[in-house]
């Protein structure tokens, strides 16, 4: 049977029968994607796509995903402890920068077994990490010192959301907050979901920084963590901000807000 007759029987044209898909060569894209994935081991294809676009690649997310899968770059999800279902309370979102912050502690360790504690402070609106204080011990007075430092450079918010840990519930922070007119918003005991912004940040911090490094000394830990904090604020695409970095979002919001005021 001839080709023409066979195509007529199945209802296609001869040109469609002889058509061969011609995909663009992905060799260079694959190499660059592998380089970025090696540098950012915990980034998925969406964040890597944003980095490619910043490099000047004019491609869509579907092509990035296809090459990402072909290269075997899928991020292995770390198992998380299953938490029993709880009643969730919606936190009133901040409407502008510096309106409300969230604070919490994260623990880790040095290679010699010494304990490492990190005090994380995040702006709820811009998602900027304002500070990560690192030491073996961070009592209430140290928390006050960090907040005083931020007050001088940025100003204080109206409220800070915190848990009921002894450093936050102690006398030092309470007296200082009262003198500065700062509201301390305590979550209910055993309900970290009420402090969702900082819990989300803590997950990223542990996954992309703490779990990726061995800290040989306190000085090394502070250096690596501060570098990660700067990268998080200045470069890391944030999904809830339209894949802008937190500093980019803050700058764009301030610019748009000032233009609306001038109009």
Calculate ∠ Cα 237-131-210, nearest 5°.
65
pLDDT in tens, 246-262: 999 999 887 665 545 54
**More confident site: 262 or 184:** 184
Residue 52 Rama label (left phi>0; alpha psi -120 to 50; beta): alpha
CA-closest candidate to residue 236, choices 249, 255, 253: 249
**More confident site: 86 or 222:** 222
| 115-123 and 159-162 beta bridge pairing | unpaired
Strands ordered across the beta sheet of 129-135: 129-135, 115-123, 100-109, 159-162, 183-186
Residue 109 main-chain phi, psi, to 5 deg? -150, 160
- The token pair that represents 97 in the structure block: 């920068």
Which has the minimum average pLDDT: 34-48, 77-91, 145-159?
77-91
Residue 117 Rama label (left phi>0; alpha psi -120 to 50; beta): beta
131 touches 146 (CB < 8 A) = yes
> In the predicted model, what is the mean pLDDT of the chain?
88
CA distance 107 to 220: 16
- The token pair that represents 131 in the structure block: 């500070």
CA-closest candidate to residue 209, choices 233, 228, 230: 228
Which has the minimum average pLDDT: 67-76, 115-124, 206-215?
67-76
Return the percentage of the chain with pLDDT > 90, whole number.
72
Residue 263 above 60 pLDDT?
Answer: no
Which has the minimum average pLDDT: 129-138, 165-174, 254-263?
254-263
What's the rounded mean pLDDT across residues 230-241? 95
pLDDT given for residue 88 in this prediction: 42
Residue 57 above 90 pLDDT?
Answer: yes
Determine whether 246 is exposed, middle or buried from the number of CB atoms within 10 Å of its CB (0-12, 13-18, 19+).
buried
Predicted confidence band of residue 245 (pLDDT cuts 50, 70, 90): very high
What's the rounded mean pLDDT across residues 201-213? 95
CA distance 174 to 168: 8
| 159-162 and 100-109 beta bridge pairing | parallel
Residue 80 above 80 pLDDT?
Answer: no
Residue 36 above 60 pLDDT?
Answer: yes
CA-closest candidate to residue 129, choices 141, 121, 119, 137: 121
Residue 85 above 50 pLDDT?
Answer: no
- H-assigned helices in the chain: 3-10, 14-17, 27-39, 45-54, 61-70, 140-153, 166-169, 171-180, 196-208, 218-234, 246-262
pLDDT given for residue 92 in this prediction: 67
pLDDT given for residue 94 in this prediction: 82
Predicted confidence band of residue 2 (pLDDT cuts 50, 70, 90): confident
């Amino acid at each position: 049977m001839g080709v023409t007759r066979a195509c007529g029987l199945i209802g296609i044209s001869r040109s469609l029968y002889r058509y061969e898909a011609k995909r663009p060569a992905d060799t260079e894209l694959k190499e660059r994607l592998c380089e970025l994935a090696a540098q950012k081991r915990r980034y998925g294809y969406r964040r890597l796509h944003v980095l490619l676009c910043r490099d000047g690649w004019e491609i869509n997310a579907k092509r990035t995903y296809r090459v990402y899968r072909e290269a075997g770059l899928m991020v292995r999800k770390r198992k998380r402890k299953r938490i029993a279902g709880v009643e969730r309370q919606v936190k009133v979102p901040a409407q502008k920068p510096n309106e409300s912050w969230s604070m919490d502690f994260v623990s880790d360790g040095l290679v010699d077994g010494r304990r490492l504690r990190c005090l994380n402070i995040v702006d709820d609106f811009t998602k900027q990490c304002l500070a990560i204080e690192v030491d073996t011990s961070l009592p209430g007075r140290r928390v006050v010192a960090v907040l005083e430092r931020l007050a001088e450079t940025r100003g204080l918010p109206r409220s800070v959301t915190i848990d009921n840990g002894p450093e936050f519930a102690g006398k030092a922070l309470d007296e200082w907050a009262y003198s500065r007119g700062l509201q301390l918003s305590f979550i209910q005991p055993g309900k970290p979901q009420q402090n969702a912004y900082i819990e989300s940040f803590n997950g990223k911090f542990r996954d992309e920084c703490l779990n990726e490094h061995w800290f040989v000394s306190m000085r090394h830990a502070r250096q690596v963590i501060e570098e990660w904090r700067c990268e998080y604020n200045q470069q890391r695409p944030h999904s809830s901000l339209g894949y802008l970095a937190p500093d980019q979002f803050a700058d764009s919001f301030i610019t748009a807000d000032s233009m609306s005021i001038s109009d």
